[in-house]
Amino acid sequence: MNRTLEKLQTEITFEVRKGFPLLLSGAIIFLFFTFMPSVFSMDTVHLIWIFGLGAIFPFGILISKILGVNLFAAGNPLGTLGGIVAAPQAFYIPVFIIVYMQIPEYLPFTIGLLGGSHFLPYMWIYKSRAYLFVTLGTCLSSLILGGFFVDQAFFLVPLAISIVYGIGVLLILKELKTNLA
Protein backbone atom coordinates (compact mmCIF):
# COMPACT_ATOMS: atom_id res chain seq x y z
CA MET A 1 0.00 0.00 0.00
CA ASN A 2 1.36 3.40 -1.00
CA ARG A 3 0.84 6.03 1.65
CA THR A 4 1.32 9.72 1.04
CA LEU A 5 3.62 11.81 3.17
CA GLU A 6 0.62 13.55 4.71
CA LYS A 7 -0.93 10.18 5.59
CA LEU A 8 2.35 9.02 7.18
CA GLN A 9 2.53 12.24 9.22
CA THR A 10 -1.06 11.81 10.40
CA GLU A 11 -0.47 8.16 11.32
CA ILE A 12 2.68 8.82 13.32
CA THR A 13 1.17 11.85 15.03
CA PHE A 14 -1.55 9.74 16.58
CA GLU A 15 0.45 6.55 17.09
CA VAL A 16 3.20 8.22 19.11
CA ARG A 17 0.99 11.11 20.31
CA LYS A 18 3.64 13.52 19.01
CA GLY A 19 6.10 12.04 21.49
CA PHE A 20 4.74 14.04 24.41
CA PRO A 21 5.75 11.43 27.05
CA LEU A 22 9.41 12.13 26.29
CA LEU A 23 8.85 15.86 26.66
CA LEU A 24 6.98 15.24 29.91
CA SER A 25 9.90 13.15 31.14
CA GLY A 26 12.29 16.00 30.33
CA ALA A 27 10.07 18.49 32.16
CA ILE A 28 10.12 16.34 35.29
CA ILE A 29 13.86 15.64 35.18
CA PHE A 30 14.77 19.28 34.58
CA LEU A 31 12.50 20.24 37.46
CA PHE A 32 14.57 17.91 39.65
CA PHE A 33 17.75 19.50 38.25
CA THR A 34 16.43 22.88 39.43
CA PHE A 35 16.70 21.84 43.07
CA MET A 36 19.99 19.93 42.88
CA PRO A 37 22.19 22.95 43.81
CA SER A 38 20.40 23.24 47.14
CA VAL A 39 21.01 19.58 47.93
CA PHE A 40 24.43 18.75 46.46
CA SER A 41 27.81 20.42 45.97
CA MET A 42 28.31 22.09 42.60
CA ASP A 43 30.87 19.43 41.61
CA THR A 44 28.15 16.82 42.09
CA VAL A 45 25.55 18.98 40.32
CA HIS A 46 27.83 19.19 37.26
CA LEU A 47 28.01 15.40 37.11
CA ILE A 48 24.26 15.08 37.65
CA TRP A 49 23.75 17.28 34.59
CA ILE A 50 26.05 15.08 32.49
CA PHE A 51 24.69 11.69 33.61
CA GLY A 52 21.15 12.68 34.58
CA LEU A 53 20.26 13.52 30.99
CA GLY A 54 20.52 9.79 30.29
CA ALA A 55 17.43 9.24 32.44
CA ILE A 56 15.12 11.27 30.19
CA PHE A 57 14.65 8.63 27.50
CA PRO A 58 14.05 5.58 29.74
CA PHE A 59 11.79 7.61 32.04
CA GLY A 60 9.88 8.79 28.95
CA ILE A 61 9.46 5.18 27.85
CA LEU A 62 8.08 4.34 31.31
CA ILE A 63 5.64 7.27 31.13
CA SER A 64 4.56 6.18 27.63
CA LYS A 65 3.91 2.64 28.87
CA ILE A 66 1.84 3.95 31.78
CA LEU A 67 -0.17 6.21 29.43
CA GLY A 68 -0.54 3.56 26.72
CA VAL A 69 1.41 5.51 24.10
CA ASN A 70 3.48 3.55 21.57
CA LEU A 71 6.61 5.61 20.99
CA PHE A 72 8.06 3.10 18.54
CA ALA A 73 6.11 3.52 15.32
CA ALA A 74 7.20 0.38 13.51
CA GLY A 75 6.22 0.38 9.88
CA ASN A 76 6.19 4.14 9.51
CA PRO A 77 9.33 5.56 7.90
CA LEU A 78 8.77 8.82 9.76
CA GLY A 79 9.27 6.85 12.98
CA THR A 80 12.69 5.89 11.68
CA LEU A 81 13.31 9.52 10.75
CA GLY A 82 12.34 10.57 14.28
CA GLY A 83 14.91 8.17 15.69
CA ILE A 84 17.55 9.43 13.29
CA VAL A 85 16.76 13.02 14.31
CA ALA A 86 17.18 12.10 17.99
CA ALA A 87 20.38 10.08 17.52
CA PRO A 88 22.81 13.00 16.94
CA GLN A 89 22.32 13.96 20.58
CA ALA A 90 24.75 11.13 21.38
CA PHE A 91 27.42 13.18 19.60
CA TYR A 92 26.75 16.08 21.98
CA ILE A 93 28.06 14.05 24.93
CA PRO A 94 31.75 14.73 24.16
CA VAL A 95 30.92 18.44 23.92
CA PHE A 96 29.21 18.31 27.31
CA ILE A 97 32.22 16.49 28.79
CA ILE A 98 34.67 19.07 27.42
CA VAL A 99 32.50 21.90 28.75
CA TYR A 100 32.36 20.07 32.10
CA MET A 101 36.17 19.75 32.16
CA GLN A 102 36.92 23.31 31.00
CA ILE A 103 34.05 25.63 32.02
CA PRO A 104 31.41 23.68 33.95
CA GLU A 105 29.48 26.89 34.69
CA TYR A 106 28.36 26.80 31.06
CA LEU A 107 26.81 23.32 31.17
CA PRO A 108 23.22 24.66 31.43
CA PHE A 109 23.88 27.01 28.51
CA THR A 110 25.44 24.27 26.35
CA ILE A 111 23.06 21.45 27.23
CA GLY A 112 19.99 23.68 26.91
CA LEU A 113 21.03 25.18 23.58
CA LEU A 114 22.13 21.93 21.92
CA GLY A 115 19.39 19.80 23.45
CA GLY A 116 16.70 22.35 22.60
CA SER A 117 17.80 22.62 18.99
CA HIS A 118 17.18 18.94 18.31
CA PHE A 119 13.40 19.44 18.65
CA LEU A 120 13.06 21.60 15.52
CA PRO A 121 12.63 18.73 13.00
CA TYR A 122 9.75 17.36 15.06
CA MET A 123 7.83 20.48 14.10
CA TRP A 124 7.78 19.15 10.54
CA ILE A 125 7.42 15.43 11.34
CA TYR A 126 4.35 16.01 13.53
CA LYS A 127 3.13 19.23 11.84
CA SER A 128 3.36 20.81 15.29
CA ARG A 129 3.81 24.42 16.26
CA ALA A 130 4.32 23.19 19.82
CA TYR A 131 7.75 21.87 18.84
CA LEU A 132 8.68 25.27 17.39
CA PHE A 133 7.73 26.76 20.77
CA VAL A 134 9.80 24.10 22.59
CA THR A 135 12.82 24.69 20.36
CA LEU A 136 12.75 28.48 20.58
CA GLY A 137 11.77 28.55 24.26
CA THR A 138 14.49 26.12 25.31
CA CYS A 139 17.22 27.65 23.15
CA LEU A 140 16.44 31.28 23.96
CA SER A 141 16.03 30.70 27.69
CA SER A 142 19.28 28.70 27.78
CA LEU A 143 21.08 31.35 25.76
CA ILE A 144 19.85 34.26 27.87
CA LEU A 145 19.74 32.69 31.32
CA GLY A 146 22.74 30.41 30.88
CA GLY A 147 24.83 33.00 29.04
CA PHE A 148 24.09 36.17 30.98
CA PHE A 149 23.14 34.87 34.43
CA VAL A 150 25.89 32.27 34.77
CA ASP A 151 25.94 32.46 38.57
CA GLN A 152 22.26 31.45 38.69
CA ALA A 153 22.24 29.21 35.62
CA PHE A 154 22.01 25.88 37.46
CA PHE A 155 18.74 27.08 38.99
CA LEU A 156 17.27 29.33 36.26
CA VAL A 157 17.99 27.26 33.14
CA PRO A 158 16.53 23.93 34.30
CA LEU A 159 13.51 25.74 35.75
CA ALA A 160 12.97 27.54 32.43
CA ILE A 161 13.44 24.32 30.44
CA SER A 162 11.02 22.47 32.71
CA ILE A 163 8.42 25.20 32.24
CA VAL A 164 8.94 25.33 28.46
CA TYR A 165 8.67 21.54 28.17
CA GLY A 166 5.58 21.53 30.40
CA ILE A 167 3.92 24.18 28.26
CA GLY A 168 5.02 22.21 25.19
CA VAL A 169 3.24 19.11 26.53
CA LEU A 170 0.06 21.13 27.08
CA LEU A 171 0.31 22.59 23.56
CA ILE A 172 0.82 19.13 22.08
CA LEU A 173 -2.18 17.75 23.94
CA LYS A 174 -4.22 20.70 22.65
CA GLU A 175 -3.01 20.03 19.09
CA LEU A 176 -3.92 16.36 19.40
CA LYS A 177 -7.37 17.25 20.72
CA THR A 178 -7.88 19.75 17.88
CA ASN A 179 -6.74 17.18 15.30
CA LEU A 180 -9.19 14.63 16.66
CA ALA A 181 -12.14 17.03 16.43
Domain boundaries, the chain: 5-180
Cα 170 from chain centre:
14
* CA distance to 27, 33, 44, per residue, from 154 (Å): 15, 8, 12
Instruction: Compute the distance between CA of residue 65 and CA of residue 61 in angstroms, rounded to an integer.
Output: 6
Residue 133 has pLDDT above 80, yes or no: yes
Q: d(Cα 171, Cα 150) in Å, to the nearest integer?
A: 30
C-alpha Rg value of the chain to the nearest Å:
17
Digit-coded pLDDT (tens) for 37-96: 999 999 999 999 999 999 999 999 999 999 999 998 888 999 989 989 998 888 999 999
Average pLDDT over residues 24-37: 98
Residue 3 is predicted with a pLDDT of: 83
Whether residue 1 has pLDDT greater than 70: no
- Separation between Cα atoms, residue 175 and residue 59, nearest integer Å: 23
What is the band of 181 on the pLDDT scale with cuts at 50, 70, 90? Answer: low
